[in-house]
């Protein structure tokens, strides 16, 4: 087989923070930044990877070192268990920035390994294999938002995704859409397994079990039961549950606002989502909160929220298209004046299709 190339995009989630792992519906879409993987088969069980950021490494299928940068390729090989390996070169920008670079690279490895082994995988299988890769192999208590967004992404649509049934409903961008997506990278990367992410997920499970016997996820609990029992919950897990139920509502309102081309309303919901993430979910570092406040107070920006786990990485915003570039410059100037030591970036993100 000759050298092949695939592109696995990054994703943004404008509304739907921290609820996919609890069975909540979410909104997401893909952008033109992502992981590019060039690969070809090897007639052995060995996988050799070179990276523009990390150098080179090789391993035998079945091994796993969770401390090594090659762990996503190792985990992909373990869940797929192919008969032969490959030689590959991986490139990508803004790694660990909150744009789901981890799911992006994991899906790239899965698809490439399947290709060199003549394994046919459906979109649904790819989604669940990536979940196994991150959840079972690497220990991240994640949901399906990231792989679903990356697999089903459409350039001209916002995705409304049911993380329980796996259903995806594209909400086509209105013809009158005059908005643009802005990404503001704080310059601080993070790794979810080393942040407070898994702790928050455990607290959500605790809230579900407290509210209803036998419930594992908050999505299993009717909202009326939460409303009736919420003040009997310990404060910390009550706040996690409050975030879940209010965020699910914001997702549905956001879907409606997008369909109606109401960018101002959509931006308000993004701000409300971020406020709940800070107040109720207790995510967000001081630096990221500061960046969010700068972004959302900039002229031309409808609203913004943290992207990813919220402990570092990016703020994603919706802005007026004609003012987006100017807004990026203003945000960059304000933030850089406060944190000149950080390698921050602010740019208009073009939307793109899913895994290709």
Annotated catalytic residues are: 146
Q: Please identify which residue in the block is written with the tokens 């609990």.
A: 221
| E strands present in the chain | 4-12, 26-41, 46-51, 55-60, 86-92, 157-161, 168-172, 179-185, 301-307, 314-320, 345-349
Q: Strands, E, within 93-220: which ranges? A: 157-161, 168-172, 179-185
Spatial CA neighbour of 59 closest among 78, 32, 33: 78
DSSP state of 28: E
Six token digits for residue 77? 């090989």
Helix (H, G, I), strand (E, B) or coil at 73: helix
**DSSP H or E stretch at residue 114:** helix 101-116
């Amino acid at each position: 087989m000759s050298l092949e190339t695939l592109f696995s995009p990054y994703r943004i989630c404008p509304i739907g923070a921290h609820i996919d792992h609890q069975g909540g519906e979410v909104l997401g879409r893909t952008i033109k930044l992502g992981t590019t993987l060039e690969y070809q088969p090897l007639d052995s069980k060995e996988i050799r990877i070179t990276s523009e950021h990390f150098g080179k490494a090789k391993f035998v299928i079945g091994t796993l070192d969770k401390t090594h940068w090659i762990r996503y390729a190792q985990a992909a090989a373990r869940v797929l268990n192919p008969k032969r390996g490959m030689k590959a070169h991986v490139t990508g920008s803004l790694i660990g920035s909150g744009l789901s670079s981890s799911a992006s690279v994991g899906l790239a490895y899965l698809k490439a390994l399947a290709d060199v082994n003549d394994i046919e995988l459906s979109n649904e299988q790819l989604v669940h294999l990536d979940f196994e890769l991150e959840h079972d192999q690497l220990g991240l208590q994640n949901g399906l938002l990231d792989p679903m967004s990356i697999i089903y992404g459409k350039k001209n649509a916002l995705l409304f995704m049911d993380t329980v049934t796996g259903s995806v409903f594209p909400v086509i961008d209105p013809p009158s859409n005059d908005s643009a997506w802005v990404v503001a990278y704080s310059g601080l990367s993070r790794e979810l397994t080393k942040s407070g992410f898994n702790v928050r997920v455990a607290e959500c499970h605790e809230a579900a079990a407290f509210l209803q016997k036998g419930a594992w996820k908050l999505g299993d609990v009717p909202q009326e039961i939460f409303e009736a029992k919420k003040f009997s919950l310990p404060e910390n897990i009550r706040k996690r549950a409050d975030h879940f139920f209010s965020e699910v509502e914001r997702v549905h309102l956001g879907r409606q606002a997008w369909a109606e081309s109401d960018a101002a309303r959509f931006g308000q919901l993004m701000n409300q989502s971020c406020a709940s993430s800070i107040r109720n979910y207790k995510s967000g570092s001081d630096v990221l909160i500061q960046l969010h406040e700068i972004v959302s107070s900039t002229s031309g920006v409808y609203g913004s929220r943290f992207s990813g786990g919220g402990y570092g990485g990016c703020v994603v915003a919706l802005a007026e298209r004609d003012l987006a570039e100017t807004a990026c410059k203003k945000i960059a100037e304000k933030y850089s004046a406060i944190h000149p030591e950080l390698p921050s970036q602010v740019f208009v993100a073009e939307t793109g299709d899913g895994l290709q």
